[in-house]
Amino acid sequence: MRLHLPRLRLLTICLVLCAFTSTTLCFAADRPNFVWLISEDNSKHYLKLFDENGAETPHIAKLAEAGLLFEHAFSNSPVCSVARSTLISGCYAPRIGTQNHRHSVLVPLPGDLRMFPSYLRDAGYYTTNKDKKDYNAIEGEGVWDESSNKATWRDRRDEQPFFHKQTFATSHEASLHFPEEAMKSEKTKTDPASIVLPPDHPDTATFRYTYARYHDRIKAVDRQIGSVIDQLDTDGLLEDTFIFYFGDHGGVLPGSKGFANDRGLHVPLVVRIPENWKHLAGGAKRGSRVEGFVSFIDFGPTLLNLAGIDVPDAVDGLPFLGEGVDISEVNSRDEAFGYADRFDEKFDLVRTLRKGRFEYVRSYQPFNFDGLQNNYRYINLAYAEWRDLYRDGRLNAVQRRFFERRAPEALYDIENDPYETKNLAGDPAHAKTLTDLRDRLAKKVKELPDLSLYPESMLVEEAFKSPVTFGQTHQDAIARLVDIADLSLLPFTEAREGIEAALESQNPWERYWGLIACSSHGEAAKGFTEKARIVAANDPELLVRVRAAEFLGLVGAGDPRPTLMAALKRTQSGVEAALILNTVVLLRDGKPGYDFSVTAEDINPAARHFIQVHRRLDYLK
């Protein structure tokens, strides 16, 4: 049940004051202020405050001493624009159409919902953003009083409460895009020899230097955060201001940012509780640790609740601080939902459900191996070296997994296996947990409903003008697609009949998912190759042909190139062309491997404009 809370009695005072003047802005001066300090691209694993192998962050640690440290805080997405769209809306991205990085279309928020700072402005708050936005939804009017690299709370009216959001790019992944010479000419303050590498990363000088350089960046962010705290203290605002420090999602060493795993989703979160407002901490003592699960859908509702503003019905999150919230109830929360879709030119579809110590990972297209080319990722020398070592056969089984097809589902015990090296999905001892989390996640994606069961190009044409309305009217159809997709979780002998029915369906997207189920089963599904050849040549839906050719190519039962090249010539959609090119790169770089020669002239001129098409062409040439 969503929490609905009355406004503070100060709102009543505000209204009374307004009766005496119609020319002066009315606001409640004696409400708490809020500051969000956000470091880019870092999971909780890089701070010693959360992980014994992380960097020292004394300023953030000082915040924790006067506040709360959240052991289980999660971004719902492992990449910038999707995570920030979730933060600013309080809504799950696959429900509202903001799940792809970056957007092909800016979508409207559902109904009359607005980005949460606008509700603070309505109540008299001065809202400032310094200065990153990166939303996949239309911002609308009245969100920020000031959004620029000069934005500051110091420009507000006297005694006006404020919300200030500040992002620190110092830790962004671009800081790890250094040339090879830098490893000799730019010494790190952190000793590379002191780094404790996770088991999936090879122990090389490149990886050690990259980690050490990133630890230095985390320490630099900590100093920047210390400067902001000093400004608040100088202004006499510290004990009236809730200060939130957190990462904008996980990252950033290879295999974290952009991947729905614990390192991609588990973020550091510290909330300093001001002395004058400690009664809003739900009974938690300053300096304590919170074990309950919170995620980005909850952050906006929490600020509204702390300010005494009703939380809109349309959001998915719940407050974890403020009036009516008991920290013991927060500590009982033990679930977090995660999602990974398109990241620039790399298409994927992964959903996660963390419950307690277990994380369930559902890879809807498991043949899209994690290490599939993503141009921006591979600027990082460690990424490139990792792939070179794989191609040279110099990695162990755990290190190789990044470049090999995934299991359709995985279950990890995060407490005992924090780097997710042992998939327990096939372990009879964990069968009950697996079934429970599988069912919970399937129910979740059906109930949202999850728009990503349709390809993005279809959503652009039919859904993104009003994503939530589209989802509501197609909920039963989406549930059917989920059931077809989940045929990949059954033994093939049990799935065969359902796949056959899907391939014979009059609904093109049921055929589409039937073919993806074939590709997920791989060699076991070779009995469908003759049917797939017919579909690849004749299906009226272009992307169904593409998925048929993809299946034939993956199992070595037919040359996929004629179908894919013909599809590139025919498509009118840049998003669709990018999806087809994703299959081209998968079949070229993965097993069994096909030679492709693709240039801009091979693509319909109407589909060449999309930036992700250019990214793929840059790589393929």
Q: What is the pLDDT of residues 258-302, one digit of tens each?
A: 999 999 999 999 999 999 999 999 999 999 999 999 999 999 999
What would the pLDDT profile of 480-524 be if each residue is shown by its tens digit? 999 999 999 999 999 999 999 999 999 999 999 999 999 999 999
pLDDT > 50? residue 539: yes
Phi, psi of 355 (to 5 degrees): -135, 115
What would the pLDDT profile of 561-605 be if each residue is shown by its tens digit? 999 999 999 999 999 999 999 999 999 999 999 999 999 999 999
The rounded percent of the chain whose pLDDT value lies above 70 is 95
Peptide bond into 222 cis (omega under 30): no
Mean pLDDT of 355-379: 98
Pick 8 or 219 by higher pLDDT.
219
pLDDT > 80? residue 343: yes
Peptide bond into 357 cis (omega under 30): no
Indicate the Cα dihedral angle 324, 329, 334, 336, nearest 10°: 0
Within a 10 A sphere around the Cβ of 429, how many other Cβ atoms? 7
Are the C-beta atoms of 84 and 110 separated by less than 8 Å?
no
Are the C-beta atoms of 554 and 528 separated by less than 8 Å?
no
CA distance 306 to 413: 34
Q: Minimal CA–CA distance to 58: which of 49, 66, 67?
A: 49
Residue 161, CA distances (Å) to 158, 185, 272, 488, 607 in order:
9, 48, 17, 53, 49
Instruction: Please state which CATH number belongs to domain 9-332.
Output: 3.40.720.10
Name the region of 300 (left: φ>0; alpha: ψ -120 to 50; beta: rest). Answer: alpha
Residue 592, CA distances (Å) to 87, 304, 405 in order:
41, 53, 12
Are the C-beta atoms of 557 and 532 separated by less than 8 Å?
yes
What would the pLDDT profile of 297-339 be if each residue is shown by its tens digit? 999 999 999 999 999 999 999 999 999 999 999 999 999 999 9
> Dmax of the chain from CA atoms?
81
Are the C-beta atoms of 609 and 574 separated by less than 8 Å?
yes
Mean pLDDT of 374-400: 98
Phi, psi of 286 (to 5 degrees): -60, 135
Query: Would you call 553 exposed, middle or buried from its count of C-beta atoms within 10 A (0-12, 13-18, 19+)?
Result: buried
pLDDT class of 11 with cuts at 50, 70, 90: very low
pLDDT > 50? residue 445: yes
Rounded to 5 degrees, what angle do the CA atoms 539, 545, 547 make? 140
DSSP 261: S
Rounded to 5 degrees, what angle do the CA atoms 432, 437, 440 make? 125
pLDDT class of 469 with cuts at 50, 70, 90: very high
CA distance 126 to 447: 37
CA distance 42 to 5: 33
Mean pLDDT of 28-42: 89
CA distance 215 to 63: 19
Within a 10 A sphere around the Cβ of 73, how many other Cβ atoms? 27
Q: Minimal CA–CA distance to 92: which of 359, 351, 426, 395?
A: 351
Rounded to 5 degrees, what angle do the CA atoms 19, 21, 23 make? 135
Are the C-beta atoms of 93 and 77 separated by less than 8 Å?
yes
What would the pLDDT profile of 75-113 be if each residue is shown by its tens digit? 999 999 999 999 999 999 999 999 999 999 999 999 999
pLDDT of residue 305: 98
Q: Which two tokens stand for residue 467?
A: 């994503």
CA 437 to chain centre: 20
What would the pLDDT profile of 180-213 be if each residue is shown by its tens digit? 999 999 999 999 999 999 999 999 999 999 999 9
For the chain, how are helix, strand and coil distributed in percent, rounded to 5? Answer: 45, 15, 40
Average confidence score pLDDT of the chain: 95
Q: What is the CA radius of gyration of the chain?
A: 25
Mean pLDDT of 127-135: 96
Q: Are strands 67-74 and 266-272 parallel, antiparallel or unpaired?
A: antiparallel
Q: Which two tokens stand for residue 148?
A: 């620029």
CA distance 348 to 100: 10
pLDDT of residue 19: 37
CA distance 243 to 226: 12
CA distance 275 to 245: 17
Q: Are strands 126-130 and 146-147 parallel, antiparallel or unpaired?
A: parallel
pLDDT of residue 282: 97
pLDDT of residue 7: 44
Are the C-beta atoms of 88 and 303 separated by less than 8 Å?
no
Phi, psi of 243 (to 5 degrees): -110, 120
> Could you tell me where the DSSP H helices lie in 235-295?
262-265
The rounded percent of the chain whose pLDDT value lies above 90 is 95
> Could you tell me where the DSSP H helices lie in 235-289?
262-265
CA distance 204 to 197: 10
pLDDT of residue 284: 98
pLDDT of residue 141: 95
pLDDT of residue 30: 85
Mean pLDDT of 156-182: 97
pLDDT > 90? residue 4: no
pLDDT of residue 340: 98
pLDDT of residue 557: 97
Residues contacting residue 547 through CB under 8 Å, at least 6 positions apart: 512, 515, 516, 519
Sequence spans of domains, the chain: 9-332, 449-620
Mean pLDDT of 460-466: 98
pLDDT of residue 12: 40
Residues contacting residue 619 through CB under 8 Å, at least 6 positions apart: 373, 375, 585
Mean pLDDT of 223-251: 97
Q: Which two tokens stand for residue 584?
A: 């081209």
pLDDT class of 59 with cuts at 50, 70, 90: very high
CA distance 298 to 295: 6
